[in-house]
Amino acid sequence: MLREEISRRARIVEDAIWRFCKVGEPKGLYTASYHLIKAGGKRLRPVLTLLCCEAIGKDWENVLPSAVAIELIHNFTLIHDDIMDRDDYRRGVKTVHRLFGEPTAILAGDTLFAQAFEVLSKCKVDSRNLVRAFEVVADVCVKICEGQYMDMDFEKRDDVSVEEYLEMVKRKTAVLIACSCSLPAILYGERIYEKALWNFGLNCGIGFQIHDDVLDIVGGDRIGKDWCSDLVEGKKTIVYLKAREMGVDIDIFGKGKASDEEKMKAVEKLKECGAIDFASKMAKEYVEMGKRYLEVLPNSKAKDVLIQIADYLVTREY
């Protein structure tokens, strides 16, 4: 069962987080830093790292710190993203900046970012491969920042195209998933699999983010954060861009706040014009493209689970 396959590896990652990560003084800083990690999460990105390692026939114990590093970087981006978006909730709990204040939240995110590289250095592999992994992870972090800036810049523009949106999504979200999948091949020097796993993760990551944008609109309380926050904050997701292309006006877009009734009316409009179905279809198409890159891998249970996870990324309900 897919849930058990994910949960079993997530527990391995969970144990590794507290084995490899420093939690010290000042206590307030570390409490804030690990607030979202302790709140839960599916640990999908580090689980993908372990699965991709298994899929290329390697022992993940030597590269387990890389999975932890990925999870730390992911949570660093969530903390800072929530500050910029002014979101109040994440994973069903108050966001770090709402609970501890913005200055502490910024430091908490920075702490996780720095710790990620410290933890990554603990991988027991050839030093040349480790150096290359550092280069790839650092480049990915730069691309994430580029993507976040693009996302913010879109809010000031009325001429954002679908192509620009997809490039933003690739940088902001997909590259970290691509990195999660390809890191084992990089660390073990398995160049034959590296590009395939990167492209698998990249395409699935784009599909994942498109589906996430859909869930923000239709997911309600199930998503554990502010419902319809993207629309209310004026984020130009592919759903909104498609609706705009069709001449559909969304009253709550960029309004700053909206009642549940107003949100429901906006959702109905987006459903009626087909914008939500359009986005859902595109998300699935990207995942199908991603899965084709796995054909280079030998048949294994891990490969089968990767395919199942890819499908899950665009069918999940929260």
Q: What are the pLDDT digits (tens) for 77-97?
A: 999 999 998 888 888 899 999
225 pLDDT higher than 70? no
CA dist 20 to 87, 182, 200, Å? 30, 21, 28
Identify the pLDDT of residue 135: 98
- What is the predicted pLDDT for the residue at 215? 93
Nearest partner of 120 among 168, 58, 59, 186, judged by Cα? 186
Q: How confident is the model at residue 224 (pLDDT cuts 50, 70, 90)?
A: very low
pTM: 0.93
* Ordered alpha helix ranges (H), 188-292: 191-218, 229-232, 238-245, 260-272, 275-292
Of the candidates 194, 200, 149, 143, the residue with the CA atom closest to the CA atom of residue 170: 143
Compute the distance between CA of residue 244 and CA of residue 283 in angstroms, rounded to an integer. 19
E strand or H helix that includes residue 19: helix 2-20
For residue 149, give the nearest of 168, 174, 166 by alpha carbon. 168
Burial of 206 (0-12, 13-18, 19+ CB in 10 A): buried
Encoded amino acid at 253, one letter: F
Return the H-helix or E-strand segment holding 44. helix 44-55
| Paired sense of beta strands 89-90 and 93-94, if any | antiparallel
SS3 category, 238: helix
pLDDT in tens, 107-152: 999 999 999 999 999 999 999 999 999 999 999 999 999 999 999 9
Which amino acid makes up residue 225? K
Domains of the chain: 2-313 (1.10.600.10)
pLDDT tens digits, 279-299: 999 999 999 999 999 999 999
Residue 220 — pLDDT band, cuts 50, 70, 90?
low
Eight-state DSSP code of residue 43: -
**CA–CA distance, 285 with 288 (Å, rounded to integer):** 5
Rounded-to-integer distance, Cα 244 and Cα 281, Å: 18
- Please say if the pLDDT value at position 226 is more than 70: no
Bridge partners, residue 94, by sequence: 89
**What are 178-217's pLDDT values in tens digits?**
999 999 999 999 999 999 999 999 999 999 999 999 999 9
In this structure, of 171-180, 258-267, 281-290, 298-307, the range with the lowest mean pLDDT score is 258-267
The pLDDT of residue 80? 97
- Select from 58, 61, 49 the least CA-distant residue to 10: 49
pLDDT of residue 318: 74
- Say whether pLDDT at 33 is over 80: yes
How far, in Å, CA of 185 to CA of 303, rounded?
14
> How many other β-carbons are positioned within 10 Å of the β-carbon of residue 74?
23
- What DSSP assignment string belongs to 93-144? EE-HHHHH-HHHHHHHHHHHHHHHHHHHTT--S-HHHHHHHHHHHHHHHHHH
311-174-160 Cα angle (round to 5)? 110
Closest residue by Cα to residue 125 from 179, 55, 64: 64
pLDDT: which is higher, 229 or 51: 51
Please state, in angstroms and rounded to a whole number, the distance separating the CA atoms of residues 63 and 187: 7
